[in-house]
Structure 1
Amino acid sequence: MKLYIAEKPSLGRAIAAVLPKPHKKQEGYIELGNGDCVSWCVGHLLEQAEPGDYNDSWQQWREESLPMVPEQWRLKTRKGCHKQLMVLKKLIGQSQQLVHAGDPDREGQLLVDEVIHHLKVPKTKQQAMQRLLVSDLTPAAVTKALSALRPNSEFSSLSVSALARSRADWLYGLNMTRAYTLQGRKVNYSGVLSVGRVQTPLLGLVVRRDKAIEQFQSKAFFEVLAHLQTQDKEPFSAKWCPSEACQPYMDEEGRVLVRKLAETVVRRIDNQPGKVTKVDRKRKSQGAPLPYNLSSLQIDAAKRFGFSAQQVLDIAQSLYERHNLITYPRSDSRHLPKQQHGDAPQVGAAIGNHCSELSQGVTNADFSRRNRAWNDSKVEAHHAIIPTSKGGSAKLSADEAKLYQQIARQYLLQFYSDYRFDETKVEVEVAGGKFAAQSKVPVDLGWKQLMPQKKQPDSASTSNKPGEAAEEQSREHQTQLPHLEVGQSLHCLGGEILDKQTQPPKHFTDATLLAAMTNIASHVSDPKIKAILKETDGLGTEATRAGIIELLFKRGFLIRQGKQIRASDSGRGLIDSLPEIATTPDMTASWESNLEAMVARQFSYQQFMGQLEQTLSQLVIEAKGHIPESLRGVKAPTKRKFKGGAKRKGRSKTSAGTKAGGKGKS
């Protein structure tokens, strides 16, 4: 008997649907017409054991117990999962062949592998286990996946990497959370100070942004526009480019800080002749943006619809599992396998069927077109999130329809020509000063014709910050240029000073916080750490980012003010209490780099855990010697009072768990 083990029931049912009938639905599995069976996990059936399961003395939260490092790691059955685990144990014992059908990512690989190891499946059966990679729950896609089974052993490094991360999160989260919570009680802080490898640097990012805004001191600066016209009376404007001689009056970003200098330039160019000194005219093209991965979808949906990261994930999961209208939503890839290109006409037909707003877009698409999105070398376990070819009718909620349309449009863009435009840059000399202007003129809208028109901001969303109107005015002056040639004579009608103010950074929103997580390297100054982070997927993973953000809100460390995301007093106090290494992305960058090297079989589990234990011991020693004065007088965000060893409810896809009283989600 062949046993297929899916990650969850919905995937199990999708697999069974294309396998031999008749089916017999049993409790916890489906028996197929040929005697094979399809069963499933329900997410993680197992989780890391609690500290008290290892050592009675670890049950209570005491400084002398830290750091807690298990000699032999243990897993235990998650609450409510014992029955399904026993179903799998029985079926595995009866089977001759196992097929691993976890989700196509690190966590999905570990989820089934850990059950196999926990149930002590014989080595010979483990070595013969096959891997089924399903990223699209439509029958055609599942059938294709079933014809391409691979040895499960090819993916063992994924499992080892996920296991190392799970155990490391347990070690770091539990020990640091207990250490700082105990120290917090010494200044009468009653809450749990949850510390995690990813959540705490993310909180640190928000705290530092909030402080930068509070400490920001605006300063005035000045730009000069020359209003020019050709001999044919064609008007345009160009912006002054200060020379090196002006540097004493400028800041490090090249902004003129002295108004008298700007006034002098205006006087000098008034009613003076000018000449075109340089013309750079190029036809340029811009390819369509790639299909979505989860983070890019979350960012765009936050900007357009105001959805939180968790909302997007939940809606996408429904479109995938319930409606079968999109492919695997937790993908970190923005590329597609070349073999998928042949399905484009069928996918397009499904889009037209489910989304009337895009029917014309489907009609005008050239499905024979193949752009940079189709790249096998950039597709690993899963590909970009795209619509499936499922037809029929689907009853979607308003939010589901919005997100489906967003994903579908992004897919259709791949079958449109590049956006082409003429870009002209000119330099003009007036009274010895240099002025520059540029314009972009569309030649062929290409894929941009499919993009929704941007709404004009209403009075509620329009900012009244100083200089913003002038900024828009300056842009408008540079959008239209007459035909100009080098040496052409001009006349300057006069100059205009644009009074501006430097602006503070903006508070994070759902979109910008997610963007910061995916592009965390831009928020790091250390060149070595920046280089490492550029090679990783950012802070957190596609599957965990939404949960980490929500967790910080749930624990009261982040709060919302309209669309803005800010740190609470507790969140700020926690960051101010911790050593810098715990509040910046540096350490997690090193972790992720090593975990990725582990997947590539270039770094070992033993090396990773050994380095972590050394770092952890030093951090715990430092915590024990530090009194968190920044939390003195700060009220905990919840009424729940800390009790040593108290268990708190939590659930996570990772084995590390999410219990605030100890098992801090990364």
Structure 2
Amino acid sequence: MGKTLIVAEKPSQAREYATALGVRGKGDGYLENEHYVITWCYGHLLELERPEAYMDLNRVGKRWSLSRLPVLPSLNQFRRVVKSGAVKQYQVIQRWLKSLDIETVICGTDADREGQLLFQEVWDASLCTKPLSRLWISSLTTAAIREGMERLRSADSVAGLAAAGNGRAYADWDFGMNLTEGFTSLFGSFDAVRKKPNVISIGRVQTPTLALIVEREWEIERFISQPYYEVRAEFATTQGDYPGKWFDPSEESKRITSSQDAEDIVGKTQGKQGKISKMEQKDVQEPAPLLFDLTSLTIAASKKYGLSAEKVLQLAQSLYEKKAITYPRTDCAYLSEDLVPKLPEHLKAVRHEPYTNLVDEAGHLGVPKGKRVINTITAHHAIIPTTEKVAVERLNFEEKKLYDLIVRRFLAVWFPPARYHQTDVVTEVEGESFRTKGKVLLSLGWKKVYGSDELDEGAVRKSKKKDDSEQADDENATLPPLSKGEDVRTKHVYSVEKTTKPPKRYTQGDLLKAMEGAGKQIDDEVLRQQIKGKGLGTVATRPAIIESLIDRGYILQEQKALKPTEKGAELIRIIKERLPQAQLLISAEMTGQMEFNLSKVEKGELTIGRYMADVEEAIGLIIEELRSFEQKHGKLPLALAPTIQVKGVGKGKEKEAKTAQKKPKKVQHSAQADGVEKDTIKGVASKGHAEGLGTCPKCGGDVIEGQKGFGCARWREGCRFVLWKTPICGKELTPNQIKSLLKKGKTPLIKGFKSKSGKSFAAYLIWDNQIEAKLKFEFEKK
């Protein structure tokens, strides 16, 4: 009997399969025993060929221009080539797919659209006709893997998923390759500072996301602050005092816009007798927040710990691979009915400090079964702890933070709602009405999981000390015993001048909400679950889109706020004001509809051919519009991307020093579309010392010195970690400094840095983003 070949997404996943299935034999690029061969990809081993492969370059030339466009291969014309550095592993997979020793094949990549696509690419290239099955699991625990192997899905059941993956890849290629070349040839220029082209990158998801940020900035710029006035009062009763705020019963949202009107109310009511005209009291319940999907987890981690969207995804993936949590790239906040019997096992797995008492109490409360927990799911259920106990001490500091968020959110749904006693009081004085709201906590319920000082997005809000006048707004004023019809005395009335505030800039968390809602920032967590599928991108791709906008010089992040650069704003302005056909590129609704159409391809409700026909039609119209613009106006270079600054630590320190630790991009003749941009890492590890300087933060390999930088020795296998030798403020890093950085997280104190103003300074270099090899300064504490 022949063996079964399992193709995993990455080596770590393959090792978990091997452990669960008792596969111990090791080969070059695979694991093997008498029943199974387990091999792996490194993400996508293949990539779509560049546009030039479909052109007659002798006729159209090598220089980017509108005359070469559009390039729109038909579905059967798209060709893929093996990525640089992936040839060896690709050959291993192909050899096993074609081996006579293999009888059946199992796709064991991540159970999502991209996971299906990266397997489909190597499967289609092999022309293999052996029986194919799909392993579909939501965690990498031994129990989940074995259960999944007993319930394999047919290849036909995921054919739509593979088609949608190809549709996403082809559409991104068409948009990115054609329109990046088209816009760059018309609006690009040569960046003399960076000595490379100023590429005008266009992407199916990237560009409408940029438009959200730019249009928010325009709202802020156009905003004219208006003054308004609040009239507040303090009332006295025999049982105690309480605050109130004036309102108009006929139009509760009405504001006082005249200082004289406010003073008239103050004068009219000051010191006068009043009466409680309305008194409503009721008990209200606040249910536990929904379980986490990736977006809500990112928002919570961003608010509480300041983590970027990309960092949260990276940490969540690491926790998944360590079997601490279930599959993280999910857009669902519910669990399925068949998980109910297993929930006690998930609960038992987190019975360790600091959760022991909470787990014991939750166990006595019974398994949660309400619709806020058990409901219809999408491809994967909500993110929860797995059934395996986690060695928490083996998690790094940031992983522990994220794990804690997930565990506490999971524990919260076992507990009953928090209960409040809510009071609504209206006091009338000389015909003027004042409202007071009070809210008293009766039972903590699920809030016991967090404690009074914890902050969790959508859950517990940290209390802030406020005076009584401000508490009237916050619905938590402390009220003495009151009764309807009771007479009260107006102790003090005064007016407060306020001004209307402009909308706030997006944070990464806010932007994720807006992307999920196709431009509409929806705060209601249940409503967000109901509109899944029409957002910008997917939960897995949105963090990378935000990072790419920063990397390509379209936006900046200042503290937590995202704001557009001149380059980003100019691109959106020219599309919005002068390119009507191209406006679909900045339409969140249109891009959301395309994402929704991809889900229809996945379900078999729309053919990939019809989907691509719509894409091609839109691109053809935009290219024609660019040609017309060029004929009328000629070329119109947009602003260059700004110089990136390293932010210093501590007051009075030099904060103007430029960082050179961003990877050089090969941009000439390179369309930087969503999902197609690729950094080249030539020269790293090609020459120089072969001595290992430390452990690669990205894949665990050795970091060695190359001709142009300090890079991972596994770069041929796909690892792109590299610290370039480009001088930072006049100083080039040495091997010993790199050793210290990799081992301790910081270099020794380096003297002789030169700031932009020419001032010399000393500083340590520490990680700003370890995985992306980005550094920042840390100054000596004096």
TM norm. shorter chain > 0.5: yes
Tell me which residue corresponds to 1:417. Answer: 416
Indicate which of 232, 235, 242 corresponds to 1:236. 242
Distance 2:475 2:528 in 1: 39
* Bigger mean CA deviation after superposition, 428-437 or 173-182: 428-437
Match of 1:282, SS state, is strand
Tell me which residue corresponds to 2:385. Answer: 387
How far is 1:181 from its partner?
A: 0.6
Distance 2:356 2:528 in 1: 44
Match of 2:394, SS state, is coil
Indicate which of 616, 625, 629 corresponds to 1:622. 625
How far is 1:340 from its partner?
A: 2.9
The CA deviation string for residues 155-174 of structure 1, in whole angstroms up to 9 with x for no partner, is 21111112111111111111
Tell me which residue corresponds to 1:463. Answer: none
> 1:471-510 residue pairs with structure 2 within 5 A?
472=470, 474-475=472-473, 479-510=477-508
Indicate which of 667, 676, 684 corresponds to 1:657. 676
Tell me the amino acid that sits aligned with residue 198 of structure 2: G
How far is 1:623 from its partner?
A: 2.1
Tell me the amino acid that sits aligned with residue 383 of structure 2: I
The CA deviation string for residues 13-42 of structure 1, in whole angstroms up to 9 with x for no partner, is 211212245x31112221123x32222222
Indicate which of 219, 233, 243 corresponds to 1:212. 219
Unaligned runs of at least 5 residues, structure 2: 456-465, 577-582, 644-659, 681-782
> 1:155-194 residue pairs with structure 2 within 5 A?
155-185=158-188, 190-194=197-201
Tell me which residue corresponds to 1:446. Answer: 445
Tell me which residue corresponds to 1:112. Answer: 119
Q: Considering only aligned residues, what root-mean-square deviation do their CA atoms show, in Å?
A: 3.2
Which structure carries more relative contact order (alpha carbon 8 Å, separation 6+)? 1
Tell me which residue corresponds to 2:21. Answer: 19
Match of 1:235, SS state, is strand
Q: Which runs of 4+ in 1 moved over 6 A?
A: 186-189, 468-471, 530-533, 627-631, 638-644
> 1:498-537 residue pairs with structure 2 within 5 A?
498-522=496-520, 534-536=531-533
Distance 1:348 1:317 in 2: 21
Could you tell me whether the CA contact under 8 Å between 1:573 and 1:630 is conserved in 2? no
Tell me which residue corresponds to 2:733. Answer: none
How far is 1:427 from its partner?
A: 2.3
Distance 1:111 1:642, change over 3 A: closer
Residue 566 (1) aligns with residue 551 (2): no
Tell me which residue corresponds to 2:535. Answer: 538
Tell me which residue corresponds to 1:646. Answer: 669
How far is 1:498 from its partner?
A: 2.0
Distance 1:179 1:470, change over 3 A: farther
Tell me the amino acid that sits aligned with residue 91 of structure 1: W
Tell me the amino acid that sits aligned with residue 234 of structure 1: G
Tell me which residue corresponds to 1:81. Answer: 86
Match of 2:123, SS state, is helix
* Bigger mean CA deviation after superposition, 77-86 or 297-306: 77-86
> 1:62-77 residue pairs with structure 2 within 5 A?
62-71=65-74, 72-77=77-82
How far is 1:306 from its partner?
A: 0.8
Q: Share of identical aligned residues, percent? A: 32
Residue 304 (1) aligns with residue 312 (2): no
The CA deviation string for residues 45-74 of structure 1, in whole angstroms up to 9 with x for no partner, is 211111112224375312111111113111
Match of 2:413, SS state, is helix
The CA deviation string for residues 170-218 of structure 1, in whole angstroms up to 9 with x for no partner, is 1111111111111114798940000111111111111122222233221
Indicate which of 99, 102, 105 corresponds to 2:106. 99
Distance 1:39 1:83 in 2: 12
Tell me the amino acid that sits aligned with residue 80 of structure 1: G
Tell me the amino acid that sits aligned with residue 669 of structure 2: A
Residue 140 (1) aligns with residue 149 (2): no
How far is 1:588 from its partner?
A: 0.4
Distance 2:224 2:105 in 1: 64
Tell me which residue corresponds to 2:404. Answer: 405
Match of 2:335, SS state, is coil
Could you tell me whether the CA contact under 8 Å between 1:5 and 1:112 is conserved in 2? yes
Distance 1:532 1:154 in 2: 24
Match of 2:389, SS state, is coil
Match of 1:626, SS state, is helix
Distance 1:311 1:552 in 2: 16
Distance 1:629 1:258, change over 3 A: farther
Distance 1:234 1:645, change over 3 A: closer
Unaligned runs of at least 5 residues, structure 1: 457-467, 525-529, 662-666
Match of 1:365, SS state, is helix
Indicate which of 548, 557, 567 corresponds to 2:554. 557
Q: TM-score, normalised by structure 2?
A: 0.74
Distance 2:396 2:532 in 1: 38
How far is 1:478 from its partner?
A: 5.2
Tell me the amino acid that sits aligned with residue 303 of structure 1: K
How far is 1:473 from its partner?
A: 5.0
* Bigger mean CA deviation after superposition, 430-439 or 45-54: 430-439
How far is 1:5 from its partner?
A: 1.6
Distance 1:117 1:631 in 2: 43
Distance 2:48 2:8 in 1: 21
Could you tell me whether the CA contact under 8 Å between 2:65 and 2:185 is conserved in 1? yes
Tell me which residue corresponds to 1:635. Answer: 640
Tell me the amino acid that sits aligned with residue 677 of structure 2: T
Distance 1:208 1:13 in 2: 47
Could you tell me whether the CA contact under 8 Å between 1:371 and 1:414 is conserved in 2? no
How far is 1:503 from its partner?
A: 1.0
Match of 1:440, SS state, is strand
Relative to its length, the structure with more helix (as a share) is: 1
Distance 1:238 1:430, change over 3 A: same
Match of 2:520, SS state, is helix
Tell me which residue corresponds to 1:459. Answer: none
Match of 1:407, SS state, is helix
Tell me which residue corresponds to 2:32. Answer: 31
Tell me the amino acid that sits aligned with residue 581 of structure 1: L
Could you tell me whether the CA contact under 8 Å between 1:187 and 1:631 is conserved in 2? no
Tell me which residue corresponds to 2:355. Answer: 358
Could you tell me whether the CA contact under 8 Å between 2:554 and 2:641 is conserved in 1? no
Distance 1:110 1:164 in 2: 10
Distance 1:114 1:310 in 2: 26
Distance 2:533 2:334 in 1: 17
Distance 2:303 2:453 in 1: 11
How far is 1:641 from its partner?
A: 11
How far is 1:637 from its partner?
A: 4.2
Q: TM-score, normalised by structure 1?
A: 0.86
Distance 1:383 1:644, change over 3 A: closer
Distance 1:532 1:135, change over 3 A: closer
> 1:340-351 residue pairs with structure 2 within 5 A?
340-351=339-350
Tell me which residue corresponds to 1:461. Answer: none
The CA deviation string for residues 423-474 of structure 1, in whole angstroms up to 9 with x for no partner, is 2222232222222221111111011112254489xxxxxxxxxxx9998454
How far is 1:636 from its partner?
A: 3.7
Match of 1:283, SS state, is strand
Distance 1:592 1:510, change over 3 A: same
Residue 597 (1) aligns with residue 600 (2): yes
Match of 2:498, SS state, is strand
Tell me the amino acid that sits aligned with residue 74 of structure 1: R
How far is 1:359 from its partner?
A: 3.0
Tell me the amino acid that sits aligned with residue 77 of structure 1: V
How far is 1:660 from its partner?
A: 8.7
Distance 2:314 2:37 in 1: 29
How far is 1:96 from its partner?
A: 2.1
Match of 2:437, SS state, is strand
Match of 1:42, SS state, is coil
